[in-house]
């Protein structure tokens, strides 16, 4: 793509124009039973995932010639942070479109002063867009049943607004025997993907119940107009796995000592499924 900066008018941040040309693909994997595919390409930048372009669909070919170009405006400050993603999909009229593969090109890794023409091997598509990370400390005192959760900070949060940053806040839910039990939330931090909270919450959890409790920590984007959206979640407790289980176990084996750790946020629906909450409402099913 060719990139040329623009002079900034007034106080606007300087932005770059990035022109991305999707030329052609060869030897694509056949996704259809007939030994062929119906490929098209989706192009976007990780700094603004809602702004996506698509090429036309080419029928029954593994060597499509696209020759389409797309123009992105990128604030100067975000160029080095952003990655260009090109995903090749197989179009299906009646089913989900399958991803054939993708190319990820971090803009920091290329010289944008020149037009770059290159072939890139398609990689297996990474399933999840990174949602960000959160750091918090846990402390449990068995004798008093006090569980202290200190929400410290988050970083590299996925942006939920197409026009820039998010207004993040954190919710802490306690689940007891798969039912929602107690909840608290932090204040909202405006216009940032790296919020610093330093807010502490204390819950009473008797030692006899600590094995039956899940602590759910979720990061949300506050939105005055529409519904608040969850950016990502995770849960800790005896049912947790990986890093979350390790943090929880460390807390239990070091009573009275606050232990801080970074955690990677997971997709909200994945966490909800793993928690398998019992719903409060038993609605009659429609006949």
Q: pLDDT tens across 168-178, in order?
A: 999 999 999 88
3-state secondary structure of 225: coil
Residue 1 pLDDT > 60: no
- Residue 129 scores a pLDDT above 90: no
What was the pLDDT predicted at 135? 95
DSSP-H helix ranges across the chain: 76-79, 242-253, 268-275
Question: In this structure, what token pair is assigned to residue 186?
Answer: 């932090």
Spell out the residues 6+ positions from residue 127 whose beta carbon is closer than 8 angstroms to its own.
none
First to last CA, the chain: 57
Q: Regarding predicted confidence, which is higher, 238 or 34?
A: 238
Q: What is the mean pLDDT of residues 114-118?
A: 86
Mean pLDDT of 128-141: 90
Phi, psi torsion values for 126, nearest 5 degrees: -75, 130
Q: What's the CA dihedral at 168, 87, 15, 79 to 10 degrees? A: 70
Asked if residue 218 lies in contact with residue 201, where contact means CB atoms within 8 angstroms, the answer is no
What pLDDT digit, counting tens, does each position of 10-61 carry? Answer: 445 678 889 999 999 999 999 887 889 999 999 999 888 778 899 999 999 9
- What is the structure's pLDDT at 5? 43
Which of the residue ranges 75-84, 212-221, 249-258 would you say has the lowest mean pLDDT? 75-84
pLDDT at 124: 82
Mean pLDDT of the 150-170 span: 87
Q: Is 277 helix (H, G, I), strand (E, B) or coil?
A: coil
Q: What confidence tier does 204 reach under pLDDT thresholds 50, 70, 90? A: very high
Altogether, the residues listed in the chain come to a count of 287
Closest CA to 215 of 235, 186, 238, 245: 235
Give the strands of the sheet with 168-176, arranged side by side: 179-185, 168-176, 213-221, 229-237
pLDDT at 126: 67
Q: Residue 115 has what pLDDT?
A: 87
pTM equals 0.58
């Amino acid at each position: 793509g060719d990139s040329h900066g623009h002079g900034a008018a007034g106080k606007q941040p300087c932005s770059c124009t990035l022109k991305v040309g999707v030329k052609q693909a060869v030897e694509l994997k056949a996704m259809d039973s007939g030994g062929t595919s119906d490929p098209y390409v989706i192009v976007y930048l990780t700094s603004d995932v809602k702004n996506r372009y698509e090429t036309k669909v080419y029928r029954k070919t593994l060597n499509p010639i696209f020759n389409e170009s797309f123009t992105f405006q990128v604030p100067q400050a975000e160029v080095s942070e952003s990655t260009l993603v090109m995903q090749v999909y197989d179009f299906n009229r009646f089913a989900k479109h399958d991803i054939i593969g993708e190319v990820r090109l971090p803009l920091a890794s290329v010289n944008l002063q020149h037009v770059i023409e290159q072939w890139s091997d398609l990689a297996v598509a990474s399933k999840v867009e990174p949602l960000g990370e959160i750091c918090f400390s846990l402390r449990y005192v068995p004798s008093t049943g006090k569980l202290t959760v200190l929400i410290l900070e988050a970083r590299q949060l996925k942006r939920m607004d197409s026009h820039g940053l998010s207004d993040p806040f954190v919710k802490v839910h306690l689940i007891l025997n798969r039912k929602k039990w107690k909840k608290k939330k932090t204040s909202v931090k405006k216009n940032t993907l790296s919020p610093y909270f330093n807010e502490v919450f204390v819950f009473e959890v008797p030692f006899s119940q600590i094995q039956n409790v899940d602590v759910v920590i979720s990061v949300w984007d506050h939105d005055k107009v529409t519904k608040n959206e969850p950016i990502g979640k995770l849960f800790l407790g005896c049912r947790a796995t990986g890093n979350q289980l390790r943090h929880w176990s460390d807390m239990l084996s070091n009573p009275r000592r606050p232990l801080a750790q970074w955690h990677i946020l997971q997709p909200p629906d994945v966490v909800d499924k793993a928690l398998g909450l019992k719903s409060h409402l038993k609605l009659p099913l429609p006949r």
